[in-house]
Chains A and B, each alone.
Chain A
């Protein structure tokens, strides 16, 4: 008998730095990854790598921490909401010239040597863990210490051996990721004064991990496409097939604004969850499930992989209502008992399941009632 071997699959989404509230764009990426992870799990041995530890050393995060300590002094961050911490972040990013590398060094050292996390980000991650739970999302270790496999110097050295790094620190220059051999532009990954960017962090994490897998999936914001093409090229050279899955952001009133400008006000995950809970209260005992399924129907099936549609409260509410209806119908259906076979249809030649196709398969007139086993394994 020919028994198919289970492949080892790595899902490596870009992380959200715990410095500002989760926005609709973030929720979309997180739900997308969660559905991919849970739908792939019955078919393959899948790891969901999501390490905040790896990215705390980027300027966005340690710069914010230094700002907080300099301007806020002793503050009980455990009492602050994610919006209040987010407002401090907006103020920090308006502050003007960025801090010197020396000022940030104690923060980077504390992360590198001791896994230290500033209490403001601890608080943020604690609040996010609550959102994950409410949304039924798998927690990939939000508050765990998950250091990258390579130190910064080890990563640069490994790239250099492969002819992929241009290290000009000897004369006061930066370190570049160098894929010019493949006609791709030179990209700075460590500044002359030693600040790594998120791409350097991703390389520290993924270079040692990728060779252990049969297939790797990179999920990221569409804005990061140029960098992820570079990352994809580097990782592909390590052996396994690597897929890029760009996910479009969710414009707010037609605009895709960076979180540092505070465009999230009124649209944070917390605010959306509160508003959605009110809608779901009337869902005949399916309240929590309707919220989880409805959010996935909206952020995955309705918004799709692109970023043309602005966020719409009315459409989200509609999806919550549809979810409640699907749950009612599903409650009277019997499990088909062939979950892997159902999921298999949405793999499209990869080891991983396409969340968009899978979520869309639940919708449409004349569809049979959703398989309760599928819903509980993937969508609730």
Chain B
């Protein structure tokens, strides 16, 4: 993906590219020309869903939330996936369910695929829903209604031994105005997971998490965006999170 400055056209292109990349066989027949058309496509995809045996979802169980730590571990989880899991997850638009739970209390009963080093969160999947059904029945959806507050920038290093590419530095911007903590997790999760699947984030990379009210006017060159409905204007798109090119 070539870098781009932020604009309405860039938002639309980014959102449309995401659909094309996840479901290339469908993209040709879909209208991805406007924000409204995109919304209709999204509603259609959500309604029809992929065949149940094909759709996969990841589950993240959150005990204690420390956002920078969570960013690091989300990358580690995505990096640990096998190629077939990566492909299936991308086709399911990196669908993820967020649950409140204590990984320490659950580890005896459930085999997680990744557990944060400090035990604050744990991941399972991506896999067909049935594999995590018991876990989802036992726990509750993660609730964090607080509006995200701006924090000092924090730099994390993605776990793992760097490959031939060599580690790089990027900045990770997150919009905070009218975004709840839960909303922020959703945006960051999709962005990070898809950046890992695209090879934009690799082991040893350093990511600096920056909190801004809104990403508009951002001078940085962006390599990847998380685009969703504008928090103020429901007919328009907004950049909710963005990953810059190498800095």
Contact = CB atoms under 8 A, between A and B. Distances in A.
A370 interface: no
Size category, B interface: 20 to 34
Name, among B65, B102, B109, the residue most crowded by chain A CB atoms within 10 Å (CB to CB): B102
A379 B230 CA distance: 69
A163 interface: yes
A168 B108 contact: no
A166 B101 contact: yes
Contacts of B146: 171-172
B133 interface: no
5 contacts: A172-B145, A178-B101, A180-B101, A185-B138, A188-B140
B37 interface: no
Nearest to B63: A166
Nearest to B99: A186
Contact of B108 (A172, A173, A181): A181
Interface string A297-335: 000000000000000000000000000000000000000
Interface of B: 62-65, 100-102, 104-106, 108-109, 137-140, 142-146, 180-181
A178 B109 CA distance: 14
A186 B143 contact: no
Summarize B's interface: helix, strand, loop or mixed.
loop
Interface string A181-201: 101111010001000000000
Nearest to B110: A180
A170 interface: yes
B102 A178 contact: yes
B106 A171 contact: no
A181 B100 contact: no
The 10 A-B residue pairs with the shortest CB-CB distance, nearest first, are A172-B146, A181-B105, A171-B144, A172-B145, A173-B143, A171-B181, A172-B144, A171-B65, A180-B105, A173-B144
A171 B104 CA distance: 20
A173 B140 CA distance: 11
Given A180-B101, A180-B138, 17 more contacts: A166-B101, A168-B143, A171-B146, A172-B145, A172-B181, A173-B100, A173-B144, A173-B145, A174-B143, A176-B100, A176-B140, A178-B101, A178-B102, A178-B105, A180-B109, A180-B139, A181-B105
